[in-house]
Amino acid sequence: MTRRLTLALVGLVAVTLVLVGVGTMTLASLADRRAAEAELRDQAEALSTVLQEVTIATPDERSTIRARLRTFARTLSLEGVGLLVYPPNGGEPLGELPEGVTLDEADLATLQAGGLVSGRSGDTIWAAAGGRNRLGLAQVLVLTRSPDPILGPAVGWFLVAGAATLVVAGGVAVVLGRSLTRPVRAVADTTRRLAAGDLSARVGDDVPRGDDELGRLVTAVDTMAAELQRARALERQFLLSISHDLRTPLTSIRGWGEALADGAVDDPVQAGRRVEAEARRLERLVTDLLLLARLESRSFDFTPRRVDAGELVADAVAAFEHEATERGVEIGVEVPAHATPVLVDPDRYAQIVTNLVGNACRFADHRVRVVVHLAAGGVHLAVGDDGPGIADEDLPHVFERLYVATRNPKVAESGSGLGLAIVRELTEAMGGRVVARRSALGGAEFVVSFPVADAVGASAGDGATGSVRR
């Protein structure tokens, strides 16, 4: 690419030089010819006036006119000069025109009347002036000149200057080509390494990153590589986490099953309950995985209805009373006395509440606060806790699939991060939004917002059935 760019730039400079040089010389030659012709006209007019006071020839001195004109031309440093003197009886004029000059009848008529004419004959420029000498005879003076030989020296100097310009252009083109293609080569090398599986490959800071197309390309490739590497890390983290979440209940079920088979369990009912609890834990995990897969495929069905968000939240939180008591966590619920209508799928909204409250109970130290309120034309559900909270670097990512926080003080409670990802998918699928922030209790708080149902168009009436399409 560098070679092609260099050849293109040098070729462009060469064509430009030729066009400019030829055009300049042509214009200069035309201007020189016009200037020489104007100057020759002035000389012819002035000398014709002088000749009116000098007798070069008389009707009986035809033989000596050529010698006198030659002497006259040498005296005035003229290249070519001719003089025609017309006899009074109208016979043939005395003298002759300079070589290469021909006057037609119109020109002769103008000159005999005392006029001034000029022109070019091949490479010869001529000017003629008419008048009468002291004897009253009509005479015509013709002067000639060849154009100044400016093209010869100019062409030589132009070739020298053009060669020097091409050398400089070639050097500049090589440097410019390398500087322009360097980011492209670096990007090509980086993409090859990425394709080979080296996700740590980067274009590097040694490549210029200006605010142009190449700079934006370099930045885009490095950003893509960083996102791919991050996605790979999240995938590995997720696999480790999900493997742990699957292994723990399976190990427990296997242990209790072996104990039951060996008759080593004193209370089979209690053992059955433990096996059932672990199986339910596995079932919830598999259900979450399937739900995320269906949400990602954009084919998840839901049935939105106009419901009271406060009532749904109160019912969903009530199901956590036993679990919260076992954990030593107090759940406070604040629901408005008036209705808070939203247009959602009741089961999916309850699932959102369940995931958020369950997440808060796992990480809370002592308190969980659930608040439903109306504000700015929306119904907002806020679930906060007094736990350790979420690190600032984790806040933008808590709703991402596969993401596990970098600071997780409760290792035993760590999950695969599916619950919050499901919350975001369900919320956005039903036309709402969810954000994470710091709680007034000191921990984390998640706020889910939906438009008030009365503000939603009548076309989205109760009982409508749809699918996730975003």
Average pLDDT score over residue span 240-260: 78
Per-residue pLDDT at 298: 59
CA terminus-to-terminus distance, the chain: 43
- Torsion-angle region of residue 201: left (phi > 0), alpha (psi -120 to 50) or beta? beta
pLDDT tens for each residue of 35-90: 877 887 887 788 777 776 665 555 455 445 556 555 655 555 456 777 777 777 76
Question: Rounded to an integer, what distance in angstroms lies between the CA atom of residue 148 and that of residue 120?
Answer: 14
Q: Any idea what the CATH number is for the domain that residue 119 is in?
A: 3.30.450
pLDDT computed for residue 469 by the predictor: 36
Query: Is residue 19 situated within a structural domain?
Result: no
pLDDT of 370:
94
When pLDDT is cut at 50, 70 and 90, the band that residue 435 belongs to is: very high
Residue 253 has pLDDT above 50, yes or no: yes
Indicate if the pLDDT at residue 313 is higher than 90: yes
Burial of 84: CB neighbours in 10 Å, binned 0-12, 13-18, 19+? buried
Q: Nearest 5°: phi and psi at 201?
A: -65, 135
Please report whether residue 63 resides in a domain.
yes
**Burial, 457: exposed, middle or buried (Cβ in 10 Å; 0-12, 13-18, 19+)?**
exposed
The pLDDT tens digits for 269-311 are 888 888 887 887 788 777 777 776 666 665 567 789 999 999 9
Residues 6+ apart with CB under 8 A from 455: 377
- DSSP secondary-structure letter at 453? G
Label residue 415 by pLDDT band (50, 70, 90).
very low
- Has this prediction a pTM greater than 0.85? no
DSSP H or E segment with residue 344: strand 341-344
Q: Are residues 355 and 273 in the same domain?
A: no
* Mean pLDDT, residues 12-35: 77
> Binning pLDDT at 50, 70 and 90, where does residue 446 land?
very high
CA distance 437 to 116: 99
Decide if 30 is inside a domain. no
| Phi and psi angles of residue 436, each rounded to the nearest 5 degrees, phi first | -115, 140
Q: What is the pLDDT of residue 460?
A: 43
**290 shares its domain with 306:** no
Q: Which domain holds residue 121?
A: 40-146
Higher pLDDT residue, 33 or 440?
A: 440
Give the alpha-carbon dihedral of 318, 323, 324, 327, to 10 degrees: 180
Whether 248 and 344 share a structural domain: no
| Range with the poorest average pLDDT among 146-150, 279-283, 389-393 | 146-150
Residue 47: inside a domain: yes
The answer to whether residue 225 is domain-embedded is no
Per-residue confidence band for 8, with pLDDT thresholds at 50, 70 and 90: confident
Asked whether residue 174 is domain-assigned, the answer is no
Residue of 425, 427, 324, 402 whose CA lies nearest to 370: 324
For residues 238 and 357, give the distance between their C-alpha atoms in angstroms, rounded to a whole number: 22
Percentage of the chain beyond pLDDT 90 is 13
Q: Is residue 314 domain-shared with residue 292, that is, in the same domain?
A: no
Domain count along the chain: 3
Question: pLDDT-based confidence at 411, cuts 50/70/90?
Answer: very low
Regarding whether 124 and 47 lie in a shared domain, the answer is yes
Cα Rg for the chain, rounded, in angstroms? 51
Same domain, 341 and 416: yes
User: Is 28 within a domain?
Assistant: no
Q: So what's the pLDDT on residue 64?
A: 55
Q: Last residue of a domain, which of 118, 146, 174? A: 146
Same structural domain for residues 386 and 449?
yes
Are the CB atoms for 287 and 419 separated by under 8 Å?
no
DSSP 59: T
389/10: higher pLDDT: 389
CATH number at residue 248: 1.10.287.130
Max mean pLDDT among 4-13, 74-83, 248-257, 428-437 falls in 428-437
DSSP labels, 315-335: HHHHTTHHHHHHHT-EEEEE-
Tens-digit pLDDT profile for residues 108-140? 788 878 888 888 877 788 888 888 777 777 788
Picking from 249, 266, 296, the residue at the C-terminal end of a domain is: 296
E strand segments, 89-168: 116-121, 124-132, 138-145
Give percent helix, percent strand, percent coil of the chain, each to the nearest 5.
Answer: 55, 15, 30
Structural domain ending residue among the three candidates 146, 176, 201: 146
Range 164-168 average pLDDT: 81
CA torsion angle 167 173 176 180 (round to 10): -160
Q: Do 276 and 418 belong to one domain?
A: no
Average pLDDT over residues 259-263: 84
